[in-house]
Each structure stands twice: as structure tokens, then as C-alpha cells.
């Protein structure tokens, strides 16, 4: 069963002006375990990043669905909330449910519109209390080969292709409904490495008072 993991890697990156800088970048990928997440990131980035890179943090990340549009490369995290009745009859109580979604878009407004478009078939009344820019650099969705633990079984290299507009990435087993859904339930980090993180690793919070009223 696959889950979403955020894996942070540190390496020396060549900037546009030709200079080199030590940076930390987070990637989101589907894997079965923490061990498999680490194995997969080395496999995915081994031919992309020049030189050596270190994995400085791995955390399990609860994402309900990911909506990928091929015309945008910035990821936005949208939190939606709705109420659900627990129990039956007089004992029924309303419970607030929160879920996180990722969508590629050009702006907060564009992300809001795309989330609304993607959830158009959702037969419940929901709100979008917040949309934030995510620092995620790239996403490696589930593949058929991830049905087994890639760290223990050799896996042929496959070329990744851009996701078509509006494609949905889901990792079965990663969906969680909770009253207060956190980003990272479990985390493995290298404390010495993480102390030297760059300031640009932090998410830029852009909350909008969007309402669901037409």
C-alpha cells in the first residue's frame, strides 16, 4: 500500500548566474515505507542532480489527491473542510473533516479555481479556508512497480513524462479524514543537516477568504 512522503535533499546547485550554492529541496513521492521512499528518491534524482546529494529528512505527508496541470509548475496546497454526521438518530453529531489537496497553478486565485473545478463532482458542501504556496519542487506519483518494495527488488529505470492537464495523482492508503489534519505525522530527519536549512525552505502562507458562495 503506497503513501505520500516528503523527502528533503541537500546538494550543491548551480544558479542561473553561474555561481554554486548549497540548497535543500523537498520532493513529494509515493512509496510503501520510509526505506522505500529513500531508495526511490535516489533512483529518481540520480540522473537529474549532478554530483552527490544527501537525504536530510523524510516525513509522511497526508495528501488526499493531487491535481496536476501541465501548464504550471508551482504547487499550491489547498485545505478543504466540511461537516459529516457521526452516528444515527438523536445520537448523531456533526464532525468537521479537513483534507489537504495539491494543485499546480499560476497563482492563488488560479489554484482556487482549479480546486473548485477538480472537485465539481463532490456531492457535499465544503469550504476552502486556506491555500498556500508549497515548496515542493517535483512530484513522483505511484507507478505499477511500486506494488512491491523497490529497496529490496531491482527496478528498471522508466522515463517520467509530464502529467496531462488536470491529471489526478492518488496514493491508495494515504487518505486521512481528521478534524485537524497535520502535514507530517511521522518524520525522520538528520538534525545536524536540518539546522543548516536555507530560509527559502519555509512555505509562504497566502490565505484567501474565498467563499463557496456562487
Q: How far apart are CA 84 and CA 92, in angstroms?
A: 10
Per-residue pLDDT of 5-60, as tens digits, reads: 999 999 999 888 989 999 999 999 999 999 999 999 999 998 888 888 999 999 99
DSSP one-letter code for 110? H
Q: Is the pLDDT of residue 124 over 90?
A: no
Neighbours of 79 (CB within 10 A): 17
DSSP assignment string, 81-150? EEEEEESSGGG-EEEEEEEEEEEEESSHHHHHHHHHHHTTT--S--EEEEEEE-----EE---GGGGS-T
Amino acid at each position: 500500500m503506497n503513501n505520500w512522503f516528503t523527502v528533503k535533499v541537500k546538494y550543491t546547485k548551480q544558479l542561473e548566474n553561474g555561481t554554486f550554492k548549497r540548497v535543500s529541496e523537498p520532493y513529494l513521492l509515493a512509496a510503501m515505507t520510509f526505506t522505500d521512499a529513500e531508495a526511490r528518491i535516489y533512483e529518481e534524482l540520480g540522473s537529474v542532480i549532478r554530483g552527490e546529494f544527501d537525504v536530510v529528512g523524510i516525513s509522511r505527508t497526508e495528501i488526499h489527491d493531487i491535481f496536476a496541470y501541465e501548464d504550471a509548475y508551482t504547487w499550491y496546497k489547498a485545505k478543504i473542510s466540511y461537516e459529516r454526521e457521526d452516528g444515527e438518530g438523536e445520537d448523531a453529531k456533526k464532525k468537521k473533516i479537513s483534507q489537504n489537496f495539491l494543485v499546480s497553478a499560476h497563482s492563488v486565485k488560479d489554484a482556487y479555481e482549479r480546486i473548485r473545478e477538480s472537485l465539481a463532482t463532490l456531492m457535499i458542501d465544503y469550504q476552502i479556508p486556506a491555500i498556500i504556496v508549497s515548496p515542493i519542487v517535483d512530484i513522483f506519483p505511484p507507478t505499477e512497480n511500486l506494488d512491491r518494495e523497490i529497496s529490496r527488488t531491482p527496478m528498471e529505470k522508466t522515463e517520467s513524462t509530464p502529467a496531462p492537464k488536470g491529471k489526478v495523482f492518488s496514493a491508495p492508503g494515504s487518505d486521512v479524514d481528521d478534524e485537524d489534519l497535520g502535514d507530517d505525522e511521522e518524520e525522520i530527519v538528520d538534525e545536524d543537516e536540518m539546522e543548516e536549512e536555507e530560509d527559502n525552505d519555509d512555505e509562504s502562507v497566502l490565505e484567501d477568504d474565498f467563499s463557496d458562495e456562487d
